[in-house]
Structure 1
Amino acid sequence: MKIAVHHTCADFNSYRAARVKSLFNVETGANFQLEADIDLDSAPWQIGVIVGPSGSGKTSLGRQLWGADAIYAPSWPANKPIIDAIEPSGSFDAVTAALSSVGLGSVPTWLRPYPVLSNGEQFRANLARLIAEAPDRAVLDEFSSVVDRQIAQIGANAFAKAWRRTTGQAVLLSCHYDILDWVQPDWVFDTAIGQFSRGWLRQRPRIDVDIWQTNWQHWGAFEPHHYLKLPKMIASTNYVATVDGQLVAHVAFSTRPGLAEARACRLVVMPEWQGAGVGLRFLDATCEMWRQGQNRYNKPMLSLFHTSHPGLASALRRSAKWTQVSARLYGDDKARAVASIRKSADRKGQATAGAGYGGHFRAVQGFRYLGAPCE
């Protein structure tokens, strides 16, 4: 496809305009021309990138690829949380999967309207909506331009993985070259040099994660991003994951009576790292340590893990290292729990405040870590 971009405006001759022309030996600023040969038909593709400095014609090229209507610019309601604004008539599971797939897995964020989200959250919310809607063709202008570079790179990688599970074609317009290794595009057109290239030969950068055994000292940084507000686990062993010294993920382990099995809880991945695949790898690694007896009890134990997060539950079901052991779709009867606790306290001659658990509709799914299957 050969695309010619020609823009023109008035040629001004004011004193300042004339002085600029004289000082910098520029005859006019009235004309902009760009010619591009972008091969869209010789091979199948899903993701292309038009990259180059600001003012080099990226948006103009994007508009001419499939027309201005292909530029993806969704309108968001100000009075609905994003969980309701994305595909209102679609599947709840599909929407939560789209949010998780682009790294917007922080559940409290789902309950906020789009205008109050941070720039990074809005960036990922737009990507999630595009994934959920899955049009045949889409052009994303200013891709990753308004977020810091770490969020841009991790978000670009998460989007690319999720988009390749659709059947559509997307063209990303960006002035940042640092996303290319993370997107791994099928083709790139560089407006700075007017060059088209197919395929991306460089590998995605490695993410080297360090795991540290610790206590609850770092929980304050992770707690705001956990979807439940619960007391700290008793006699737990905590682990944090770091990348270049930066806190990335947290999980805590305790044991069932008799040291029969371990329980992994309080898994949190920092928002800027969601979508990079770090969380599940971190959980697998810590559970494997306990399976091999690398714990303070020096005893091999399998680990149980429970979650209400649809995206995480789906990922665990896909993993050959995990098996699902339970799926409770609603909470316990709170009145029955209160009566049971009171009866137990009376039998022991203890006082009780009448508290109980349950009374919610939170679906809880349980999984057991088995390790890599034998070959």
Structure 2
Amino acid sequence: MIVNINHRCSDFDSYRAAAVKSLFNVETGANFDLTVNLPLHERIWQIGVVVGSSGSGKTSIGKKLGKIYTPKWDKTVPIVDAISPNGAFNDVTAALASVGLGTVPTWLRPYSVLSNGEQFRANLARLICEAPEFAVLDEFSSVVDRQIAQIGAGAFAKAWRRTHGKVVLLSCHHDILDWVQPDWVLDTDTAQFQWGWERQRPRIELEIYECKQADWQLFEPHHYLKLPHMIAATHYMGLVNGQPVAHIAFSTRSGLVEARACRLVVLPEWQGAGVGMKFLNACCEMWWQGQNRYNKPMRTLFHTSHPALANALRRDKKWTQVSAVLYGGNKAQSCKHKGIATGYGGHFRAVQGFRYLGENSCE
């Protein structure tokens, strides 16, 4: 497939235009021509990337390939309602989580009030839910900082490959290529086309440290529940290159028969990279190996009502589901039983419980 781009405009002869031509030895700025060969029919593919500097012809090539994806958002409804209104609830929440927009309060806001990074990921989630046969995304990752761009690009690529459609990403940033792992790349600066991408996706080295309860303040705004501090809990923080990424806290059941993990939070810019499950499993494995302040091996119970996290736990062979409650408990009875003003319950949410079996559970 040969793509020819030919743009024409008036050749102005004003004083300033003439001065520019004379100073910089430019004859005209009226013409832009680009010819590239895109042999997309030769192989089966799902994700392609057109990359190059601004003004190098990316958008023009994208328009030649198909219609630019520019969804319209209803300003009167939250994004959880605006995305695939007739689709399944779990599919929408799974798409939001898969592209790293897993902060639940964000789902309850209209698209127009989201930050640039949140809007970027909301568009990706909507595209995954709609899953068209062919789509072109312009300015891919251009409006967000590079950390969100790279993690978001990798999360989107992983989620998109579970669909059956084709997508072409137009970007001026080369740093997303290692994360997207595209099936083909066209560099408009050099007009060079190549199949595949040779470099592997960068590894994320996650360090785990025991931290203070006060460190929970950094993660609390991103947790979907507002709860009091855990009593006598051990808190852990995950860091990448010295930057806080994830948090979790562990307490014990009566008699030290089992541990209980709560307050799992991954900061928004790292959601969708697979950090959460690896962090959770690593901390639970430490407790199962007796690496805790009690020096006693304990399995871990973990409860969540987050649909995507519950699905991930069900898929992981190191976990087994042990409970599923479709509604909350009686808050008044909880307060009376605990003898304190703070109780649990009074809500309507499906709480699902899981038990960690260990790294060698498959054996």
Within a 5 Å distance, the mapping from 1:248-259 to structure 2 comes to: 248-259=245-256
The yes-or-no answer on 1:363 pairing with 2:360 is: no
Residues 1:313 and 1:374: Cα distance change in structure 2 (over 3 Å)? closer
Amino acid at match of 1:40: L
Determine what percentage of the aligned residue pairs are the same residue. 71
Could you tell me which of 144, 148, 151 is aligned with 2:148?
A: 151
Q: Measure, in 1, the Cα distance between the counterparts of 2:28 and 2:164.
A: 45
1:13-52 deviations in Å (ceiling 9; x for gaps): 0111111111111111000000010111111100000000
Give, in whole Å, the separation in 1 of the partners of 2:156 and 2:166.
13
1:189 maps to which residue? Answer: 186
**Deviation digits for residues 125-146 of structure 1 (CA, Å, limit 9, x no counterpart):** 0000001111110000000000
Counterpart Cα distance in 2 of 1:107 and 1:156? 20
Which residue of the partner structure matches residue 85 of structure 2? 88
Q: Is 1:37 aligned to residue 37 of structure 2?
A: yes
Aligned to 1:103: 100
Equivalent residue, structure 2, for 1:49: 49
Rounded to whole Å, the distance in 1 between the matches of 2:15 and 2:343 is: 80
Paired position in structure 2 for 1:270: 267
Contact 2:318 2:362 in 1 (8 A): no
State whether residues 318 and 357 of structure 2, in contact with CA within 8 Å, keep that contact through their aligned partners in structure 1.
yes
- Is 2:161 aligned against 1:164? yes
Q: Which residue does the alignment assign to 2:73?
A: 76
Select 2:221's aligned residue among 204, 209, 224.
224
What stretches of structure 2 of length at least 5 have no aligned partner?
A: none
Please say if 1:14 is aligned against 2:14.
yes
* 8 Å Cα contact 2:209/2:237 also seen in 1: yes
> Displaced runs of 4+ in structure 1, greater than 3 A?
none
Structure 1 residue 214, shift from structure 2 partner = 1.6
What TM-score results when the alignment is normalised by the length of structure 1?
0.94
Tell me the distance in 1 between the aligned counterparts of 2:30 and 2:198: 39
Count of aligned pairs: 362
Distance in 1 (alpha carbons) for counterparts of 2:39 and 2:298? 55
Q: Does 1:246 align with 2:207?
A: no
Measure, in 2, the Cα distance between the counterparts of 1:43 and 1:320.
Answer: 35
Amino acid paired to 1:46: Q
Q: Distance in 1 between matches of 2:216 and 2:97?
A: 22
Match of 1:130 among 127, 130, 139: 127
Give the TM-score normalised by the residue count of structure 2. Answer: 0.97
Q: Cα RMSD between the aligned structures?
A: 1.4
Cα separation, 2, equivalents of 1:367 and 1:25? 71
Distance 1:113 1:309 in 2: 20
State how far apart, in whole Å, the 2-side matches of 1:374 and 1:95 are. Answer: 31
For residues 76 and 311 of structure 1, the distance between their equivalents in structure 2, rounded to whole angstroms, comes to 24
CA contact (8 A) 2:317 2:362 kept: no
